[in-house]
Structure 1
Amino acid sequence: MKPNITTIPITELFTDTDGCPICRMHRMLEEQYVEYITGAAMMAPDVRVKTNRVGFCHRHFSMMVNNGPRLSNALLLQTHIDELRKKVFPKKNTDLPDKKMLAAIRENDRTCYVCDRIEHDILHLLATVYVQYGSDPEFRKQYQDQDFICLDHYALVMGNANKKAMDKSTFKEFCEVTNKLSKGYMDTLYDDVTHFASMFDYRNQGGDYKNSKDAIERSVRFLTSYPVNENLT
Structure 2
Amino acid sequence: MSETILTIPINDLFRPKCGCPVCRMEEMLEEQGVQYITGDAMMEPSVRVATNKKGFCHRHFSRMLMLGNRLPNALLLETHMEEVMANYLPKKDGGKPDKKKLEGLRDMLGSCYVCDRIASNVAHLVSLVLMEWAKGGEFRELYREQPFICLKHYQYIMTAAMARGGIPSKLLGEFHADTAALTKNYMEALYGDIKHFVSMFDYRNKGQDWGTSVDAIERSIEFLTGEKPAVPEK
Question: TM above 0.5, one fold?
Answer: yes
Do 2:18 and 2:146's aligned partners in 1 also have CA atoms closer than 8 Å?
yes
Counterpart of 2:90? Answer: 90
Do 1:38 and 1:68's aligned partners in 2 also have CA atoms closer than 8 Å?
no
Q: Return structure 1 stretches of 4+ with deviation > 6 angstroms.
A: none
What is the deviation of 1:165? 6.2
Which is worse superposed, 205-214 or 81-90?
81-90
Which is worse superposed, 95-104 or 179-188?
95-104
Do 2:161 and 2:167's aligned partners in 1 also have CA atoms closer than 8 Å?
no
Q: Secondary structure at the match of 1:146?
A: coil
Give yes or no for the alignment of 1:40 onto 2:43: no
Counterpart of 1:153? Answer: 153
Q: Secondary structure at the match of 1:211?
A: helix
Q: How far apart in 2 are the matches of 1:55 and 1:129?
A: 30
Q: How far apart in 2 are the matches of 1:173 and 1:16?
A: 23
What is the deviation of 1:106? 2.5
> Structure 1 pair 102/167, CA: closer, same or farther in 2 (3 Å)?
closer
What is the deviation of 1:2? 3.1
What is the deviation of 1:68? 5.2
Counterpart of 1:172? Answer: 173
Counterpart of 1:124? Answer: 124
Counterpart of 1:8? Answer: 8
What is the deviation of 1:26? 1.0
What is the deviation of 1:203? 1.2
Pairwise mapping of residues 103-122 of structure 1 onto structure 2 (< 5 A)?
A: 103-122=103-122
Q: How far apart in 1 are the matches of 2:101 and 2:207?
A: 60
Q: How far apart in 1 are the matches of 2:182 and 2:28?
A: 21
What is the deviation of 1:137? 1.5
Structure 1, unaligned runs of 5 or more: none
Aligned-residue CA RMSD (Å): 2.0
Counterpart of 1:205? Answer: 206
Counterpart of 2:21? Answer: 21
- Show CA shifts across 1:76-131 (max 9, x none): 01111111122232213417654344334422331011111111121111111111
Do 2:88 and 2:101's aligned partners in 1 also have CA atoms closer than 8 Å?
yes
Q: How far apart in 2 are the matches of 1:4 and 1:157?
A: 22
Percent identity, aligned pairs only?
Answer: 50
